[in-house]
Amino acid sequence: MPSQRRLRWRGEAIVFAALLLLAACAGPELPLLSPLEQAKVYGYAETPLGDNRYAVTYQGPSRLILNFAPDRDQAAAAARTQAYDFALWRAAQIAEAQGYPGLRVTDRQSDVDTMAQPAYYDSSFYAPFGPGSDLFHDHHGMPFGGADDAGYFSPPSPYAEIRARARIDVEVLREPGSQDLRVDELLARMRKAYPDAEKLPGGGQR
């Protein structure tokens, strides 16, 4: 039967190999305000609807959060707001490129997906507090929270992954009214609120 030290080493080796593989596959990052077809896992996309109208979507990057209220609720609200803002930002870029000074949002939708993380694992979690300890077994000798095949105690992960999406339908306008959005003001506000959204990882501009 393998020793605990050997099992621990094997587990850490697997985790390290997985991290190397992820790092190799990740490739260079792109700014948050990038086309979805380029960034793949986040970014914007748009579809012309005719008559100066567009459907603009933004899929936000995944975020690792604490899976407890109110932390989870606050993080989800922030992710939803950012996705909507970036969809609106892209709509303003479309209007600006075509020489339209205003736009109007005619419909909006947003949602947040939450994905629980796997059970927590800590390779240093050993006696006197590990699987051999009475502290983590009930009176029937069964571990609280479950254990893996090697006998390591695996309490539920305190983390979750969230990803937000937003879709807006907009109309770009030659003569915006008092209730419509001014493109120049909107772009200035977004760049102030998210100063790094157009920057490359090194700090440069696209």
In this prediction, residues 130-135 reach a mean pLDDT of 42
Q: Give per-residue pLDDT as tens, 135-186.
A: 444 444 444 445 555 555 566 788 899 999 999 999 999 999 999 999 999 9
Query: Which domain, by its residues, includes 101?
Result: 31-118+157-193
The 3-state DSSP composition of the chain as helix, strand, coil percent (nearest 5) reads 35, 30, 40
**Does residue 57 surpass a pLDDT of 80?**
yes
Position 203 in a domain? no
Position 135 in a domain? no
pLDDT recorded at residue 138: 41
Give the DSSP per-residue string, 47-102. Answer: EEEETTEEEEEEEPPPEEEE-STTHHHHHHHHHHHHHHHHHHHHHHHHHHHTT--E
More confident residue, 117 or 169: 169
pLDDT recorded at residue 70: 86
Locate all alpha helices (DSSP H) within the chain, ordered by sequence.
Answer: 4-26, 36-39, 71-97, 183-193
Position 145 in a domain? no
Position 15 in a domain? no
- Three-point CA angle 82, 199, 91, nearest 5°: 45
Position 72 in a domain? yes
Position 104 in a domain? yes
Would you place residue 134 in the very low, low, confident or very high pLDDT band (cuts 50, 70, 90)?
Answer: very low
Query: C-alpha distances in angstroms, 29 versus 42, 85, 123, 136, 145?
Result: 11, 21, 31, 42, 38
Q: Is residue 175 exposed (0-12), middle (13-18) or buried (19+ Cβ within 10 Å)? A: exposed
Asked if 78 and 89 count as a contact pair (C-beta separation under 8 A), the reply is: no
Position 44 in a domain? yes
pLDDT recorded at residue 158: 86
Position 53 in a domain? yes
Asked if 63 and 132 count as a contact pair (C-beta separation under 8 A), the reply is: no
Number of domains within the chain: 1
Question: How large is the angle between the packed helices 183-193 and 71-97, nearest 10 degrees?
Answer: 140
